[in-house]
Amino acid sequence: MRNARMATLVIVATGLALLGLAEVRAAQGEKNQKSTVELVWDKEFPEGITDVAFDKEREGLFCPSVIVTGNCENAKAILYLDSSGKVIKETKLKEWTQVRISQNGQYIGIMHPEKYDGEFHHGPVDVMNMSGKVVKTIGGVYGSWWWVSPSGNEIIGKDVWADDDVYYFRGTPGKTEANLTKREGDISMLAGIPTIKWTETQSNYLQIGNKTVDLPCRKHGHLIAVSPDGKYVAIPEAIPEGKSYIYHLLLYTKEGTFLEKFDLEKEGSVLSSFSPDGKFLTVAVRNLVFLIDVGKKKILWKYESDDPYQLLNLGTTLDFPSEAPFFVAGVFWHYEKLGSKDASERIMIFSEDGSVILDFAIGKGLNRGGRRVFKVNSKGNMLCYVTGNEIRVFQLRRTQ
């Protein structure tokens, strides 16, 4: 780990030189509004970061409360951090131990390997709460594709031997498996797409067909978004037109009732996120960002970067604060030209009306490997960016 204070001075000084005190006047009419951002905490984890958990309501430094080091098939340790970013507890793990954190960050699953032969893991999973207490032990877990329920009661895993797309359930009586290929088992249909319905999750849906790439080893490329209250699902659609495609975003209720189709204008990876209250949906495709009012089923604004090669970092999604000093933020990649290896990462923050409050260069070069997470605290004054082996926390100040 690097000294946090020295890293702050070096990187903030670089940012100030690049951006002229890092003050960026807002676009689209808010000429008197400007924001500043500075790096206040930075740590490296040489063994890699495979998963993290956040508490958005925690006072103090907005960094992960739990960090899993290593990789998805061979976790090294679980680190618990206090509100100042100090490691207050460390649980070292045996070789080939796997660790998964539930989607809501409330439970940790630890597979204790009874067998590893280079093809798959096998062992029971201890499910712990965030205080480290084991609340349930679930056996019969195989492979690397498994998840922990947000309730901590259940684990779902992909069958490593089945030719079909079969998922099995462990920990809840009465559930066995779901075959997405044959549409059998504990599944439902959403717009004709086989859907595993996991009733104890916050969103009610774990995976929709093969369209969601939400595997522990590849936590990026999410193509389907579900609102936190489970009421709405957003699915991208690509329609062939000549040698290219026309992209739309389809909005459904969780029962599969079609609500609206939105034209995304360009082709490319489509990443979308719902606001915490489920009232808004933000979508990014290449250098476009849309904000959709879910209830009114309409696009409120569209932002188009002057840089045609800019795109949302494929390892993260756009995030919202619970309160409203700004509305939505994300990390974007900027390329000098198409196909260029020269690129930089930029934090962009938008107001509710689509004005750019901040466009801040983090630095040159892209950290393409490992885990990437971007989160905003509930007050909207701190940002945290997690890459494959580094965590950076930024303080945001908005002035007139």
Q: Give pLDDT tens digits along the chain (400 positions).
A: 433 333 332 222 222 222 222 333 333 333 334 678 889 999 999 999 999 999 878 889 999 999 999 988 899 999 999 999 999 999 999 988 999 998 788 899 999 877 666 567 888 999 999 888 999 999 989 888 888 887 888 888 888 888 888 888 888 777 778 888 887 877 777 666 677 765 544 445 455 554 443 333 333 334 678 787 778 888 888 888 787 787 889 998 877 788 999 998 877 778 888 888 888 998 888 788 899 999 999 999 998 887 766 666 555 567 777 766 678 888 877 776 665 666 778 888 888 888 888 888 886 655 556 667 888 888 888 899 988 889 999 998 876 5
Q: What is the β-pairing status of strands 373-376 and 382-386? A: antiparallel
Residues 6 or more apart from 15 whose CB is under 8 A from it?
22, 37, 38, 39, 360, 361, 362, 363
SS3 (DSSP) at 30 = coil
Residue 69 tokens read as 């080091």
E-strand spans in 26-73?
A: 34-44, 49-53, 66-71
Compute the distance between CA of residue 339 and CA of residue 281 in angstroms, rounded to an integer. Answer: 30
Query: In the prediction, which pLDDT does 219 show?
Result: 37
Residues 6 or more apart from 63 whose CB is under 8 A from it?
41, 81, 85, 384, 391, 393
Burial 90-116 (b: 16+ CB within 10 A, else e): ebebeebbbbbbbbbbbbbbbbbbeeb
Cα 277 to Cα 230, 233, 273: the distances in Å are: 11, 14, 11
Vertex 282: Cα angle to 277 and 287 (nearest 5): 165
Four-residue CA torsion sign, 384, 61, 38, 9: negative
Query: In the prediction, which pLDDT does 218 show?
Result: 37
CB atoms under 10 Å from CB of 261, counted, come to 12
**What's the CATH class of domain 35-398?**
mainly beta
CB atoms under 10 Å from CB of 31, counted, come to 9
27 near 351, Cβ under 8 Å? no
Compute the distance between CA of residue 156 and CA of residue 154 in angstroms, rounded to an integer. Answer: 7
Nearest to 89 by CA among 130, 140, 61: 130
SS3 (DSSP) at 117 = coil
Vertex 384: Cα angle to 380 and 387 (nearest 5): 155
Query: In the prediction, which pLDDT does 115 show?
Result: 65
245 near 239, Cβ under 8 Å? yes
98 near 108, Cβ under 8 Å? no
Compute the distance between CA of residue 152 and CA of residue 283 in angstroms, rounded to an integer. Answer: 30
Q: Whole-structure pTM over 0.85, yes or no?
A: no
